[in-house]
Amino acid sequence: MVIGVLALQGAFSEHLDVLAKLNIETRKVKKPEHLEGLAGLIIPGGESTTLGRLMTKYELFDPIKDLVQRGRLALFGTCAGMIIAASEVVGYDQPRLGVIDIAVRRNAYGRQIDSFEADLEVPAIGGPPVRAVFIRAPYIEMVGPGVEVLAEHDGHPVMARTERVLVASFHPELTTDYRVHEYFVQQIAGK
């Protein structure tokens, strides 16, 4: 199994480090041809407008969307990656994949100075609460049919999934708890 990490902007190196610690083979994705043979792709946090522009420039939107929709690629979007994966971004018109039926509010918790950490109960993962790092984080305002909410913070969904797409409004790559990444890998493996 090879998992790619979109390496155009944002926290991609941290995701690569976590996957390496889990003994998962990885590949940096910067061009459409880098998607070939991947079982999964992580779209990291960063700045969603910039990330969307770069994905457009390097012609990555259509190939990623096509692979996810045909069931040939699992996707995990964190923070800005969740915004890119969403079907709707409230109040913004920006490029997005639309591969998970959610409406996301950008910077829902405020500016950079308002960043925080919180413990989240994630029953699907089990064990103790997941330490979540929220940096200019979005949250989910609407969840469509077929989307399962996995975690909430202050009454707002912050982690959700479908059969092939996992999203989180926080940064699991910035902690030493690798259970969210392990969950993504297990979903790909069908366990």
CATH number of 117's domain? 3.40.50.880
A 10 A CB-CB count for 64 gives 24
Q: What is the pLDDT of residues 34-59, one digit of tens each?
A: 999 999 999 999 999 999 999 999 99
C-alpha 5: how far from its chain's center?
A: 10
pLDDT higher than threshold 80 for residue 111: no
**Model confidence pLDDT, tens digit, residues 49-106:** 999 999 999 999 999 999 999 999 999 999 999 999 999 999 888 899 999 999 999 8
- Helix extents (H) in the chain: 12-21, 48-57, 61-69, 80-85, 179-189
The per-residue pLDDT of the chain, averaged, comes to 95
Asked if 65 contacts 30 with a C-beta cutoff of 8 angstroms, the reply is no
The total number of structural domains in the chain stands at 1
Which range of residues forms the domain containing residue 97? Answer: 2-189
Q: Give the active site residues.
A: 79, 171, 173
In this prediction the pTM is 0.95
